[in-house]
Amino acid sequence: MMDKVAYACASKHAGTYCVTVSVDKVEFLQPVEVGELVALKASVNYVGRTSLIVGIRVESENVKTGMIKHTNSCYFTMVAKGDDNKPQQVPELVLENVEDIKRFIEAMRVREIKEKVREEMDDAKSTIEVANANEVLKGERCIIKLAR
């Protein structure tokens, strides 16, 4: 459901089809209980040349009490696609209030952090030495059983 909402929000802004590149920070703060109504609110928080970051807020409402609770938030990075199936430039984002400005700057910072984390993860993958596995895995909940 969140992917469809992100697609609709991004595509409306871009004026073309958009595809999901990544989903970040899907953290459930509270459960959605059986029988509750669910509402998703989406906004384009950031645009690059061909990419958009869509923030989604999920709320649930107890139909008996009328109580509304924030259940989770997440961020979708989308890329606009042209008719030739290649990335297509998206319109600039008009920031109309202080909250829009805050979200845009926040998304810029998150993108920078994600890039640093991606580089560190790639580096961590490329420097794994299985020869030291017994030492590295000491105290972990695993057993090394190599076929000989």
pLDDT of amino acid 148: 75
Which amino acid would we find at residue 53?
I
Band (pLDDT 50/70/90 cuts) for residue 127 is confident
pLDDT of amino acid 136: 85
Mean pLDDT of 62-73: 96
Q: What pTM was estimated for this model as a whole?
A: 0.82
Mean pLDDT of 60-85: 96
pLDDT of amino acid 59: 97
Pairing type for strands 18-28 and 51-61 reads unpaired
The proportion of the chain whose per-residue pLDDT surpasses 90, expressed as a percent, equals 73
C-beta separation of 51 from 79 below 8 A: yes
pLDDT at 14 over 90: yes
Give dist(CA 140, CA 87) in Å, integer: 44
Mean pLDDT of 43-72: 96
Band (pLDDT 50/70/90 cuts) for residue 121 is confident
pLDDT of amino acid 32: 93
Q: For the chain, what is the mean pLDDT?
A: 93
Q: What is the CATH number of domain 2-93?
A: 3.10.129.10
- 96: three-class secondary structure by DSSP: coil
Mean pLDDT of 86-98: 97
